Amino acid sequence: MSNLKKLLGLRIKEIRKSLNMTQERLAELVGIGTPNISYIENGKFAPSVDTLEKMAKVMNVKPYEFYMFDHLDDIDSIKKELFNNLEQDDKLLRMMYKFYRSIK
């Protein structure tokens, strides 16, 4: 399964849920079957350009917003990036430690 398809599907699902919309309702508004929405959200299918445009219109987002999924990175990637940056920047490390202590 393509990582891009998986991330795109997760992002579509995230936006749909933020709108309190069911897969059934999205499918109805876009004009495709509910199983297709499920396959898209699970990364099994990639939506066509036409379907993506319809989804964007229905969900009131710009099509490019479906590709804004940096926050969906897996936890290992996040840890690696964070630890690499903390090792290189003592001020950042101290700030993050203070933040950590304040919420612990």
**CATH architecture of residue range(s) 3-72:** Orthogonal Bundle (1.10)
For the chain, give every domain's residue range.
Answer: 3-72, 74-104
Q: Write the pLDDT tens digit of every residue in 58-79.
A: 999 999 999 988 776 667 776 8
Classify residue 19 as exposed, middle or buried by CB count within 10 Å of its CB (0-12, 13-18, 19+): middle
- How high is the pLDDT of residue 104? 75
Looking at residue 72, what is its pLDDT?
67
For the question of whether the overall pTM of this predicted structure is more than 0.75, the answer is no
Question: 1 falls in which pLDDT band (50, 70, 90)?
Answer: very low
- Non-local CB neighbours of 40 within 8 Å, separated by 6+ positions: 8, 9, 12, 46, 47, 51
